Amino acid sequence: MEETNMDDCEQNRESEVAPALIAVHPTHQSVAVAVGSNLRVFNLQEGCSVSLVDDSGVHMHKDSIRAIRYGAEGKLFVSAGDDKLVKIWLTDSWRCISSVSSEKRVSAVAVSNDGRFVSFADKFGVIYAVEIEAFHENQSLPNKKAVPILAHYCSIITSLEFSPDGRYIISADRDFKIRVSVFPEKPSDGAHEIQSFCLGHTEFVSCAFICSKDSQQRYLLSGGGDSTVRLWDFTCGSLLDTCHIGPETGLSQSKGVDDSLLAVTDLCATRGGSLIAVAIQSLAGVVLLSCNLSARSLRFARVVPIPGETFIPTSIAAAYSSNQLWMVMGASTLCASDSAPLARVKVVDGFCDSNQDSVEHEMLVLEDKDIRGGEQLLQTLQGSSSIEKDALATAAEAVKTAMCNLLIKKQYPSENREFRKRGRNDKKVNKKK
Amino acid sequence: MGENPTHNKKTGLPRKRFYRARAHSNPLSDSHFPIPISPAEVDYSLHYPEMVKVDGSKKIQFADVGCGFGGLLIALAPLFPDTLMVGMELRDKVTEYVKERILGLRTTNPGQYQNVSVVRTNSMKYIPNYFGKGQLKKMFFLFPDPHFKEKNHRRRVISPFLLDEYAYVLAVGGIIYTITDVEELGEWMKSCLEEHPMFEPLTTEELEADQVVKLLSTATEEGQKVARNDGQTFRAVYRRIATH
């Protein structure tokens, strides 16, 4: 009996492990890494680490950060997570201009393309929006209250996106669903009108990504626990193509790995959307897909392995102006012990739209010394320039377990189920058969 | 064919006492019953074999959410013989009962009750998996769980956020029927619908002209129980309107 209870506790603690996250400024001015409660920013233009200034009158993040995001123009940056705070930063001075409090833990954030709205989702499926009024450089916004605009019924929201034209807000959840809602003129009106549902995933949806920043675009990519990446027309919710990643990586056959362990954890695309990078659990590298939007097709291209250490990215981001793919792997804590958060950053060169159909162009995993910013950048973002290989493997395992516990529905064998009902007082003892 | 001990020998219908179930079920817990991935995956030939033979393109137009023992559906089936309707119920034993009840009725009344079926599902989570945009003409929420405590209000089947999903599956002009014997819940359902921009109330004349309205309190098992006890009922009937 006690054993089961202990199991539960352990699972809870393990699901507290948060993966490291990475975001790159749209014009490559800075790069941000979040690991645990630490937010680390490096200024790529000046080659120095950034010190964050918090004027919002509220403390810095005190618990794991679960979502970070730059606005489309790069003026704003948003961070949020388990401490129920959504912090809005100005990226030129790295001042926090507003700390919005949420009732529940925050699992996803998004910034509208015009920078007018910040939206975030909590772990119980409610999505909120805050309007960002014009602000002056030296002035802080009053810490505003966010208004709830829509909700997925008690499901963890895993990803949140605005459509490029700002008309829709797209939310993905643990119950296999992607909802496309018409974004209201005023957040207080609520997003009542549902444009479509994108239904097709057979497990949790972990990430969603608008294919390109072109405002005419209506294509959406999503990845999930079913080991697929799917291409949608989000205005009508139709599934255009599906790419099964698991079998393509060779991981499932060679090591007898269960397909369900090959969940897609993150994805991002080049500016034009013709090349997609996909991060997968257990894969030391990234999977590349080629996406042809006019033919509405998605094809497996190849795997870019990362040589050397076990590097399984937990978050990836495209840097359009430098044609790079930035990746981070790490965890807030390792296996529920009190060890320091761990993060490792890698950069791949040559992540860009190709002119021809050839996807065979060079993609090169950069050596640490060749990354712009070099040792100083790694020192800032990783917290240390050298990281033990063993620690990386442990981190990968911890992140994977945490994600499974959080997002995969628990299955109890029937005898176990009976055992769980033991506390119920409405059960009849003498059941006649 | 062997005799089924759980069924009434004369009518061939299932007997309720063999389908006892808890009065409530937790809508928040993870569900492990099969759910169609999308409305296109709903197997109509399984639910309406005879109707599908005649017209395979027909879609479900009425949904009784939380149909319980299926009283309303059974009353509606002969009134709208060409309309496909489905009951949605979370408790598996109750669903099983309704399924047997429909099969029994189909056997004893050849050609009838072919347009009615039931699914075991959590409609608070999976409504969009069953119905496409604007597919439904009528939705019924009869005597739902009141969930009195404020912290449990989010378990109520009529709530401001869930109405967004109901508005999505309802066609413009489609009607949502709610009734309860709990005054507090009645007020809650009415105010949720009143404040939602995509619904408007039916006028008194429209309510009187609608033959379905009368069935809300008379056809269901819960409604009959309330009537037996001389209880009061609270009704809110609203129409889905177009957005501008």
ipTM of the complex: 0.90
pLDDT, tens digit (0-9, with 9 covering 90-100), for A409-426: 777 666 676 676 666 655
Asked if A153's CB is within 8 angstroms of B38's CB, the reply is: no
Whose CA is closest to A109, among A100, A121, A99?
A: A121
- Residuewise pLDDT in 10s, chain B (244 residues): 445 777 777 777 887 777 766 666 777 777 778 899 999 999 999 999 999 999 989 999 999 999 999 999 999 999 999 999 999 999 888 999 999 999 999 999 999 999 999 999 999 999 999 999 999 999 999 999 998 888 888 889 999 999 999 999 999 999 999 999 999 999 999 999 999 999 999 999 999 999 999 999 888 888 888 888 888 999 999 999 998 6
Q: Write out the two tokens for A431.
A: 């059941």
Asked if B125's CB is within 8 angstroms of A155's CB, the reply is: yes
Whether the CB of A383 is below 8 Å from some CB of chain B: the reply is no
Work out the number of other CB atoms within 10 angstroms of the CB of residue A362. Answer: 6
Write the CB contacts of B35 (distance below 8 Å, at least 6 apart in sequence). B121, B126, B129
Pick the residue from chain A with its C-alpha nearest to B123: A153
CA-to-CA distance for A338 and A336, rounded, in angstroms?
7
The answer to whether the CB of A225 falls within 8 A of the CB of A244 is no
pTM of the model: 0.90
Of A150, A151, A199, which is closest to B38 when you measure between CB atoms?
Answer: A199
CA-to-CA distance for A208 and A184, rounded, in angstroms?
21
**A126-131 vs A147-151, strand pairing mode:** antiparallel
CA–CA distance from A366 to each of A272, A348, A374, A423, B202 (Å)?
23, 6, 11, 57, 67
**A53-54 vs A48-49, strand pairing mode:** unpaired
Kind plus residue range of the DSSP H or E element containing B225: helix B221-228
Whether the CB of A431 is below 8 Å from some CB of chain B: the reply is no
Chain A: closest CA distance from residue B51 (Å): 27
The answer to whether the CB of A229 falls within 8 A of the CB of A264 is yes
Output b/e per residue, B193-219; b: 16+ Cβ within 10 A.
beebebbeebeeeeeeebebbebbbeb
pLDDT, tens digit (0-9, with 9 covering 90-100), for A162-211: 999 999 999 999 999 999 999 999 999 999 999 999 999 999 999 988 87
The answer to whether the CB of A412 falls within 8 A of the CB of A7 is no
B181 counts as catalytic: no
Q: What is the pLDDT of residue B31?
A: 72
Q: Tell whether residue B129 is among the known ligand binding residues.
A: no
Q: Is the pLDDT of residue A336 over 80?
A: no
Q: What is the mean pLDDT of residues A238-259?
A: 73
CA-to-CA distance for B242 and B233, rounded, in angstroms?
29
Pick the residue from chain B with its C-alpha nearest to A410: B30
Asked if B37's CB is within 8 angstroms of A176's CB, the reply is: yes
SS3 B157: coil
Q: Tell whether residue B162 is among the known ligand binding residues.
A: no
Q: Which of B30, B43, B64, B145 is catalytic?
A: B145
Asked if A426's CB is within 8 angstroms of B197's CB, the reply is: no
**A95-101 vs A315-319, strand pairing mode:** unpaired
Q: What is the pLDDT of residue B176?
A: 97
Residues of B in contact with A177 (CB under 8 A): 128
Asked if A192's CB is within 8 angstroms of B167's CB, the reply is: yes
Output b/e per residue, A249-288; b: 16+ Cβ within 10 A.
bebbeeeebeeebbbbbbbbbbbbbbbbbbbbbbbbbbbb
In chain B, domain spans: 45-240
Q: What is the mean pLDDT of residues A88-117?
A: 92
pLDDT band at A432 (very low <50, low <70, confident <90, very high): very low
- Which segment of A7-11, A210-214, A309-313, B188-192 scores lowest on mean pLDDT? A7-11
Whether the CB of A153 is below 8 Å from some CB of chain B: the reply is yes
pLDDT, averaged across chain A:
84
Residues of B in contact with A199 (CB under 8 A): 37-39, 128-129
CA A187 to chain centre: 24
Whose CA is closest to A400, among A331, A316, A344, A324?
A: A331
CB contacts < 8 A (A, B):
61
Q: For residue A363, with 0-12 CB atoms within 10 Å meaning exposed, 13-18 middle and 19 or more buried, which class applies?
A: buried
CA-to-CA distance for A398 and A270, rounded, in angstroms?
30
Q: Is the pLDDT of residue A252 over 70?
A: no
CA B193 to chain centre: 18
Whether the CB of A190 is below 8 Å from some CB of chain B: the reply is yes
Asked if B162's CB is within 8 angstroms of A153's CB, the reply is: yes
SS3 B6: coil
Chain A: closest CA distance from residue B128 (Å): 7
Query: Nearest 5°: phi and psi at B34?
Result: -70, 140
**Helix, strand and coil percent figures for chain B, each rounded to 5:** 40, 20, 40
CA–CA distance from A73 to each of A22, A131, A213 (Å)?
17, 16, 11
Q: Tell whether residue B90 is among the known ligand binding residues.
A: yes
Secondary structure of chain A as H, E, C letters: CHHHHHHHHHHHHHHCCCECEEEECCCCCEEEEEECCEEEEEECCCCEECCCEECCCCCCCCCCEEEEEECCCCCEEEEEECCCEEEEEECCCCEEEEEEECCCCEEEEEECCCCCEEEEEECCCEEEEEECCCCCCCCCCCCCCCEEEEECCCCCEEEEEECCCCCEEEEEECCCEEEEEECCCCHHHCCCCEEEEEECCCCCEEEEEECCCCCCCCEEEEEECCCEEEEEECCCCEEEEEEEHHHHHCHHHHCCCCHHHCCEEEEEECCCCCEEEEEECCCCEEEEEEEECCCCEEEEEEEEECCCCCCCCCEEEEECCCCEEEEEEEECCCCCCCCCCEEEEEEEECCCCCCCCCCCCCCEECCHHHCCCHHHHHHHHHCCCCCCHHHHHHHHHHHHHHHHHHHCCCCCCHHHHHHHHHHCCCCCCCCCC
CB contacts under 8 A, A 390-409 vs B, are 409
Which of A152, A153, A167, A180 best tests the B interface by mutation, with the highest count of B CBs <10 A?
A153
Pick the residue from chain B with its C-alpha nearest to A203: B37
Asked if B129's CB is within 8 angstroms of A153's CB, the reply is: no
Asked if A151's CB is within 8 angstroms of B161's CB, the reply is: yes
A46-55, A138-147, B161-170, range with greatest mean pLDDT: B161-170
Residues of A in contact with B161 (CB under 8 A): 126, 148, 150-151, 153
CA-to-CA distance for B94 and A63, rounded, in angstroms?
45
Whether the CB of A154 is below 8 Å from some CB of chain B: the reply is yes
The one-letter amino acid code at A345 reads: V
Q: What is the pLDDT of residue A420?
A: 66
Whose CA is closest to A165, among A229, A94, A234?
A: A234
Angle CA A110–A112–A114, to nearest 5? 150
Residues of A in contact with B126 (CB under 8 A): 175
Whether the CB of A295 is below 8 Å from some CB of chain B: the reply is no
Of A176, A177, A194, which is closest to B164 when you measure between CB atoms?
Answer: A194
Question: Across the beta sheet with A297-305, what order do the strands follow?
Answer: A264-269, A275-280, A285-292, A297-305
CA-to-CA distance for B123 and B129, rounded, in angstroms?
9
Instruction: Specify whether domain B45-240 bears CATH 3.40.50.170.
Output: no
Whose CA is closest to A311, among A395, A255, A374?
A: A395
Q: Is the pLDDT of residue A251 over 80?
A: no
Q: Tell whether residue B195 is among the known ligand binding residues.
A: no
The one-letter amino acid code at A154 reads: C
CA-to-CA distance for A47 and A74, rounded, in angstroms?
18
Secondary structure of B20-36 as H, E, C letters: CCCCCCCCCCCCCCCCC
* Of A15 and B62, the one with more pLDDT: B62
Chain A: closest CA distance from residue B158 (Å): 12
Residues of A in contact with B167 (CB under 8 A): 192-194
Asked if B160's CB is within 8 angstroms of A426's CB, the reply is: no
Q: For residue B134, with 0-12 CB atoms within 10 Å meaning exposed, 13-18 middle and 19 or more buried, which class applies?
A: middle
Q: What is the mean pLDDT of residues A286-299?
A: 91
Residue bearing tokens 């209870």: A5
Which of B165, B192, B200 best tests the A interface by mutation, with the highest count of A CBs <10 A?
B165
